[in-house]
């Protein structure tokens, strides 16, 4: 969040969108191979070292860990002007369609093919801490008998790993053996529940290219990875789940069943919070926006995030210092009384940690404990209902998860937990912010991603969208909605006025149209989600002060609209 009006964010966020636009990658859908197809790639699992593979600038090697299947995998490390490209020439048949895929882990990874005689295609993924499948398809030309398939990383990024490479299609001669039906998945377990969803995870199966999740014997989801969230469930209801592994040869027997019961429908984390809520940040400083007391915040705001807690000399620990001088003599006693009055009116008041200039760091067990203890102490002293995580300079998913769980154990199930990541932080489930949100989704109230100061970003359909439109809001929200968060845990964060952010302001009408598109399927732009999300939590703004400066135009328009959502 900006302390200084009109200040643009760091260039790294705009760079991410520009990079995607410049690459002009083709996100082609992967075609289905027939049972007679074979894997035309040689040494597809790198069990024979780098035999049949060529890596640029000696960037590739084989390793015994991590591996997805067998005993070896490729490790390739970008360096200087080299992007660690490893390639193989594969024999193919003319006028044929092939499915190209591999599993990757580590830094940015790309997969593609050249020399098809038609349209060369490629796809990519940001860094990933676990194995993730990349796949696309291509068609050969009338005179094409071989193609070059490749994978590579990105300049200045970490090493990537690749395993189980495949070019499935008609036999071009000399490839690996025809696939067999994969084995039955093991280790199926429940990783989280909400009132309307169940999250599952299981062990990978060698040779599998995808997995089918069954709910009470009926197909509920098809995924490429080893986890899935089944949504649209009834509250306080038990369900039985199984999973089967799939590839071109067919589907494995279903796994042993596990049972999960959804939670009670209490509107998500935070107890009596409304089904649809409006969040507003309240500025504990004067940067030219209207100076407010907590009592001045309009009733349309259901969650008031006090910005911000301050770092201390102890790593991870925070404190809160009311800016009495900057807020025209607002005293601590009056502040505490105003917090209690808002709570008596059914509102939640939380302390926000971070902001654009925040320096709080939680990167080990000691700092995680210090964070939990200090935030809980602030909750006790000022009566805060919970905490907001607005760390815009990076976070460690492992230790922030540890800190938030320790805080929840102290504060109890009524604690409000919100997050305000930047757009780049939620582009992929492998990003630290997204991983943290998924790690704590059983205690998470809402993620209000900041749809501003952003530049261009990818939507869930693989297309690039520029900020300032309904499409930007809906296509990026879709990533979170399809990436594992419950709709009740997703909110749209926008500036209250043009002065509230360096870029990305949209009128309240655009905000309301995006809410309608996501919850009702109406008022969409060119992007329309494949389904609606009636339980979407709502919207957030920076800030109640900038809203007041503009005559509360944002909350007067967006607030009633949020509260009238289905």
Where in the sequence numbering do the catalytic residues fall?
392
Q: How far is 484 from 429, CA to CA, in rounded Å?
A: 8
* Contact present, 113 and 138 (Cβ < 8 Å): yes
DSSP strand pairing (38-39 vs 160-169): antiparallel
Q: Could you tell me the two tokens for 521?
A: 């399927």
Question: 185, 252 in Cβ contact below 8 A?
Answer: yes
Report which of 393, 387, 386, 388 is spatially closest to residue 361, judged by C-alpha positions.
Answer: 393
Contact 428, 124 (CB under 8 A): no
Question: From residue 551, how far is each of 497, 512, 547 by CA, in Å?
Answer: 10, 18, 6
Q: Are 186 and 252 in contact (CB under 8 A)?
A: no
Neighbours of 328 (CB within 10 A): 11
Largest CA distance in the chain: 81
Helix/strand/coil (H/E/C) assignment for every residue in 376-429: HHHHHHHCCCEEEEEECCCCCHHHHHHHHHHHHHHHCCCCEEEECCEHHHHCCC
24: buried, middle or exposed (CB in 10 Å: 19+, 13-18, 0-12)? exposed
CA 180 to chain centre: 34
First vs last C-alpha separation in the chain: 29
Cα-only R_g, the chain = 25
Report CA dihedral (60, 66, 67, 70) to the nearest 10 degrees.
Answer: 100
Q: Are 3 and 285 a contacting pair, CB within 8 Å?
A: yes
How far lies 93's CA from each of 40, 135, 461, in Å?
10, 20, 31
* Nearest CA among 294, 187, 218, 248 for reference residue 37: 248
Helix-helix angle 470-482:508-520, to 10 degrees: 40
Please provide the DSSP assignment of 513-539 as one string: HHHHHHHHS-S--S---SS--TT--EE
C-alpha closest to that of 204 among 223, 177, 178: 223
């Amino acid at each position: 969040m900006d302390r200084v009006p009109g200040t643009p964010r760091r260039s790294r966020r705009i760079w991410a969108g520009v990079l995607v636009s410049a690459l002009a990658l083709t996100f082609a859908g992967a075609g289905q191979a027939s049972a007679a197809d074979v894997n035309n790639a040689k040494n597809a699992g790198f069990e024979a070292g780098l035999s049949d593979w060529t890596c640029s600038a000696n960037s590739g090697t084989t390793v015994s860990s991590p591996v997805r299947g067998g005993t070896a995998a490729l490790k390739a490390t970008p360096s200087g002007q080299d992007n660690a490209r490893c390639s193989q020439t594969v024999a193919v048949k003319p006028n044929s369609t092939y499915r190209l895929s591999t599993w990757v882990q580590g830094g940015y990874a790309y997969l593609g093919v050249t020399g098809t005689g038609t349209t060369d295609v490629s796809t990519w993924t940001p860094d990933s801490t676990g194995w993730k499948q990349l796949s696309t398809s291509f068609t050969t030309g009338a005179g094409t008998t071989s193609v070059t398939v490749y994978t590579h990383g990105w300049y200045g990024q970490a090493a990537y790993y690749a395993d189980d490479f495949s070019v499935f299609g008609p036999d071009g001669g000399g490839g690996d053996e025809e696939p067999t039906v994969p084995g039955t998945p093991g280790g199926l377990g429940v990783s989280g529940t909400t009132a309307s969803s169940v999250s599952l995870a299981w062990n990978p199966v060698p040779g599998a290219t995808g997995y089918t999740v069954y709910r009470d014997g009926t197909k509920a989801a098809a995924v490429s990875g080893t986890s899935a969230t089944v949504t649209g469930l009834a509250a306080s209801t038990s369900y039985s789940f199984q999973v089967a592994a799939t590839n071109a040869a067919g589907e494995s027997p279903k796994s042993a069943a596990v049972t999960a019961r959804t939670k009670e429908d209490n509107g998500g984390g935070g107890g009596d919070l409304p089904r649809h809520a409006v969040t507003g940040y309240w500025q504990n400083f004067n940067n030219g926006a209207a100076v407010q007391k907590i009592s001045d915040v309009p009733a349309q705001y259901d969650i008031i995030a006090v910005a911000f807690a301050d770092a201390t000399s102890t790593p991870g620990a925070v404190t809160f210092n009311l800016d009495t001088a900057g807020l025209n003599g607002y005293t601590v006693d009056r502040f505490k009384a105003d917090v209690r009055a808002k709570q008596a009116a059914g509102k939640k008041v939380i302390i926000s940690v971070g902001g654009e200039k925040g320096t709080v760091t939680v990167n080990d067990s000691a700092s995680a404990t210090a964070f939990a203890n200090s935030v809980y102490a602030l909750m006790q002293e000022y009566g805060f209902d919970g905490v907001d995580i607005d760390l815009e300079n990076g976070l460690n998913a492992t230790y922030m998860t540890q800190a938030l769980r320790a805080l929840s154990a102290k504060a109890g199930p009524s604690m409000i937990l919100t997050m305000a990541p930047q757009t780049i932080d939620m582009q992929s489930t492998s990003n630290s912010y997204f991983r943290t949100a998924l790690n704590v989704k059983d205690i998470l109230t809402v993620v209000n991603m900041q749809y501003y100061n952003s530049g261009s970003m990818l939507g869930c359909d693989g297309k690039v969208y520029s900020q300032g439109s309904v499409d930007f809001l809906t296509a990026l929200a879709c990533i979170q909605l399809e990436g594992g968060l419950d709709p009740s845990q997703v909110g749209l964060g926008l500036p209250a006025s043009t002065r509230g952010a360096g870029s990305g302001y949209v009128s309240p009408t655009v905000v309301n149209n995006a809410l309608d598109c996501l919850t009702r399927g109406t008022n969409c732009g060119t992007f329309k989600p494949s389904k609606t999300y009636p339980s979407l939590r709502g919207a957030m703004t920076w800030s109640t002060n900038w809203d007041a400066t503009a005559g509360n135009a944002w909350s007067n328009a967006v607030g009633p609209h949020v509260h009238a959502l289905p």
